[in-house]
Structure 1
Amino acid sequence: MSTGGGTDGTAGTALAEQARAKVNLTLRVLGRRPDGYHELESVVAFAGVADRLTLTPGAKAELTVTGPRAAECGALDDNLVFRAARALGARIEGLRSGQFTLDKQLPAAAGIGGGSADAAAALRLLAASNNIAFDDPRIMAVARATGADIPVCVASKACVMTGVGETLAPITLPPLPCVLVNPRVPVATRDVFAELGLKPGEFRAGLSEVLEAVAWPAPGAAAEDWIDALAGGSNDLEAPAIRVQPAIAQVLAVLRAAEGVRLARMSGSGATCFAIFSSETEARAAAAAIAAGHPGWWVEASVLN
């Protein structure tokens, strides 16, 4: 599933993948399992903005990070790209790795799965480089073991994600013009879940509520139908995230005041928020206005699908 470069595993042939931003259009926290993991239900889409990861096959795994967000990546030896590569190598004897170069465009600790998308891109690149089938179960097993958001990022296609992120039901989502905004403040997922305050074994939703979950529009439904359906949802982490980082409330207020906005909400555990518009023209105009008014923020017009 390489999006660029060669796919035959020839030594020295650079392969490339886009690591697209993940956006949680809705996010319900159903409860916390006895093992401490949270049970979720989320409609997930992917934006056109992305990191770019390249791999030049070789014997030794190495990582170089470039781009405007490179300084936000932290220690490279603990980067999710490395962790995913090591985990796949432990499962597949003789796996050839190589030189990874990550062009980091997405903000870190931002609720849009930047690191997870990078790790998923690494798994796709390693599969292509080693002539491993994309649907090889070892790929998804490593994704699940390495990070909760990595499985949904492997295919990077719209879906309803449940469980702790491992159960994925594909959906057909029409293109939704959007603006993504991050106030350039990192928000740790663990801090937001701690603020939510669920104890192991505590559930916020009973079985009957889960069974009565929203029925999402059928394939072929118009964007208008999807916007109406999504408006009936929520992000259960939005309120606790605002308590952790009040700047999120300001971002949401700005997005909700934008001309032509149809829906604005926080993604994931924050601090990135999104707004959906009826047209790409409206989204671009809103992004330009917001960027001009808040030059310190990360602002991108894109399309969700």
Structure 2
Amino acid sequence: MLTTRAPAKINLTLHVLGRRQDGYHELESLVAFSGAGDTLSLTPDETLSLDVAGPTASAAGAGADNLVLRAAQRLAEDVKGLRLGRFRLEKRLPVAAGIGGGSSDAAAALRLLARANGLAADDPRLTAVARAVGSDVPVCLDPRARMMRGAGESLGAPIRLPLLPSVLINPGVPVATAPVFAALGLQPGASRKGAGHCDIDARPGAEELLAALRKGRNDLEDAACLQAPVIVDALAILRAARGCRLARMSGSGATCFAVFATRRDAVRAARVIRAQHPEWWVNTAVLR
């Protein structure tokens, strides 16, 4: 059995530059990853199957639309004689939450299949399949902090971030991505002025990074808050927590994150939020 983690993807920033003629939105996003995530295992076999367990298994589903199966089937089309197998997904991340849970699962499936079949990690067929399966899958193939541009197909070099003690919270409300982007009202070919992202060094210091993050934003935050007003509450709670240095929504929501001065501050804030909102998903993490 082969096993790998499928970590949560966190958009520290998310700038929408415009909308391309093909309908996709042009993005610039500094992406980091959390220690929190799902776990995917593969037992090589002649047939392909998926078993999903864990706290959020029912929302993820194990049918043909699960991105793990879609990624495996697509890779089998491109790599003749690919050995498949039985996947088991331990699903812990919330679904439709803006943290790339399904995309990270799909990327994990591609990594496991590559190991089982002796494919190099940089095999171009893996990248091609990742792009075909979903816009967030390519950045999750090698889950390290980096800039993501375009519709997710253009990836910068890895960035060595300082450790960022954080709290992730999801209020339990799924947010559909398409309506959030649609609320921006951008027609194909349209661009947004002043939407560019500041430069990020390959190895920024903590204060330097926080200053850059404060200059950034998530352009989907307002639209997502209209769709799920509880996001406003989640952000307010994080910003009011002692030691919070930055709070923002990730992706198209509804998961929000806060960066804290110390791990102790993050742990204390998470404990208080869990006590106040036991129905929410609350996780302490170190983003990297």
1:268 Cα deviation (Å)?
A: 0.2
- 1:61 and 2:48 correspond: yes
1:122 counterpart residue number: 109
CA distance in 2, matches of 1:56, 1:182: 32
1:271-290 equivalences under 5 Å are 271-290=254-273
The answer to whether the 8 A contact 2:52-2:61 is kept is: no
Match of 2:125 in 1: 138
Distance in 2 (CA, whole Å) between partners of 1:259 and 1:287 is 11
Give the superposition deviation at 1:74: 3.4
User: What is the distance in 2 between the residues matched to 1:248 and 1:286?
Assistant: 17
2:169 aligned partner, one-letter code:
V
Output the CA distance in 1 between the equivalents of 2:97 and 2:14: 15
**Match of 2:112, as an amino acid?**
L
SS in 2 for 1:76: coil
Partners of 1:83 and 1:217 in 2: CA distance:
36
Deviations 1:68-107 (A, max 9, x none): 0001113521100000000000000000110000000000
Q: Please tell me the root mean square deviation across aligned C-alpha atoms, in Å.
A: 1.1
Cα separation, 2, equivalents of 1:91 and 1:135: 15
Counterpart AA for 1:232: K
1:198 to 156, 170, 186: 186
Q: What do the CA deviations read for 1:168-206 (whole angstroms, capped 9, x no partner)?
A: 112221110000000001000011111122111111137
CA contact (8 A) 2:108 2:141 kept: yes
1:214 equivalent in structure 2: 198
2:75 corresponds to: 88
Structure 1: distance between partners of 2:250 and 2:53: 25
Please name the residue that 1:16 is paired with.
Answer: 3
Distance 1:75 1:140 in 2: 24
Q: 1:168 to 1:251 in 2, by over 3 A?
A: same
Q: CA deviation at 1:278?
A: 1.4
Q: Distance in 1 between matches of 2:85 and 2:236?
A: 45
Give yes or no for the alignment of 1:171 onto 2:159. Answer: yes
Contact preservation (8 Å) 1:38, 1:164: yes
Stretch of structure 1 that moved more, 225-234 or 43-52: 225-234
Letter in 2 for 1:185: V
Do the aligned residues in 1 keep the contact of 2:51 with 2:62 (CA within 8 Å)? no
Whole-angstrom CA distance in 2 between matches of 1:218 and 1:106:
29
Q: Residue type of the partner of 2:118?
A: N
Matched residue pairs, number? 287
Q: State the 4+ residue runs in structure 1 displaced beyond 3 angstroms.
A: none
- Report matched runs for 1:221-300 at 5 Å: 221-300=204-283
SS in 1 for 2:102: helix
User: Could you list the runs of 5+ residues in structure 1 that have no partner in the other structure?
Assistant: 1-13
Kept after mapping to 2: 8 A contact 1:51/1:104: yes
TM-score by length of 1: 0.92
Partner amino acid for 1:164? A
Unaligned 5+ segments in structure 2 are: none
Contact (CA 8 Å) 2:50, 2:62: kept in 1 or not?
no
Tell me the residue number matched to 1:110: 97
| Cα deviation 1:238-274 (Å, max 9, x = unaligned) | 0011011111101000000011100000000000000
Question: 2:52·2:62 contact (CA, 8 Å) conserved in 1?
Answer: no
Letter of the aligned partner of 2:70 in structure 1?
R
Other structure's SS at 1:34 match? coil
Secondary structure, counterpart of 1:78 in structure 2? coil
| Aligned amino acid, residue 136 of structure 1 | D
Answer whether contact 1:217 1:225 (CA < 8 A) is retained: no
1:201 is paired with a residue whose SS is coil
Structure 1 residue matching 2:13: 3-state secondary structure: strand
